Amino acid sequence: MVVVTSRRQLTALAATDGARQVILDVLTGAEAHDLLAGRLGAGRLAAEPAAAEELAVPCARLPLALSIVAERASARPGLPLAALAAVLRDARGRLDVLDGGEAASVQAGQADALSGIGWHQCQLGDYTASIASCEQALEVYQQTGSRHQQGHTWDTLGRAHSQLGRHAEAAACYRHAVHILGELGNMYNTAEALIHASDAHEAAGDTSAARDALRQALALLNDLHHPDAAAARCCASFKMSMVGSVKSPV
* CB proximity list for 11: less than 8 A, separation 6 or greater: 21, 227, 228
Q: How far is CA 27 from the centre of its chain?
A: 16
Q: So what's the pLDDT on residue 104?
A: 47
Q: So what's the pLDDT on residue 13?
A: 52
| Closest to 63 in 3D by CA, of 10, 27, 115, 108 | 27
Q: So what's the pLDDT on residue 225?
A: 82
CA distance 69 to 91: 14
CA distance 133 to 90: 11
CA distance 210 to 201: 5
Q: So what's the pLDDT on residue 62?
A: 83
C-beta atoms surrounding 250 within 10 Å:
13
Side chain identity at residue 153, one-letter code: T
The burial class, CB within 10 Å (0-12 / 13-18 / 19+), for 46 is exposed
CA distance 142 to 158: 18
Q: So what's the pLDDT on residue 156?
A: 96
Give one DSSP letter per residue of 83-117, joined into a string. Answer: HHHHHHHSHHHHHHHH--S--HHHHHHHHHHHHHH
Q: So what's the pLDDT on residue 89?
A: 77
CA distance 3 to 90: 34
- Per-block mean pLDDT, blocks of 10 residues, the chain (250 long): 62 60 82 92 92 87 84 86 84 62 59 88 92 92 82 96 97 96 93 96 95 95 86 90 63
Q: So what's the pLDDT on residue 20?
A: 75
